[in-house]
């Protein structure tokens, strides 16, 4: 089942499927390790809930929900 990254529950593992962003943002995300078929896990959410930290390729990277909403992940792993 595919959902947007910002809807993935904390500490639940998912696989990146698609980056639905503009070309410039896609290049930045790819360089940070947001590559299709890569495992990703949300590990922290701030108090207001609009910013989350994700573990991807042994790194912790923070994204705003508006950006994470454009990343599709598969949760059936």
Residue 72: what pLDDT?
98
d(CA 61, CA 33): 10
Residue 77: what pLDDT?
60
Is the CATH number of domain 2-74 2.30.30.90? yes
d(CA 57, CA 50): 22
Average pLDDT over residues 28-37: 96
pTM of structure = 0.92
68: how many CB neighbours lie within 10 A of its CB?
Answer: 21
pLDDT tens by residue, 34-67: 999 999 999 999 988 799 999 999 999 999 999 9
Average pLDDT over residues 30-36: 96
The percent of residues above 70 in pLDDT, for the chain, comes to 99
């Amino acid at each position: 089942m595919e959902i947007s990254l910002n809807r993935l529950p904390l500490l639940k593992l998912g696989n990146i499927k698609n980056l639905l962003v503009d070309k410039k943002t896609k290049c930045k995300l790819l360089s940070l390790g947001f590559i299709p078929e890569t495992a990703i896990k949300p590990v922290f959410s701030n108090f207001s809930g609009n910013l989350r930290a994700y573990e991807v390729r042994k790194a912790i990277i923070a994204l705003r929900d508006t950006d994470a909403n454009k990343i599709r992940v598969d949760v059936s792993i």
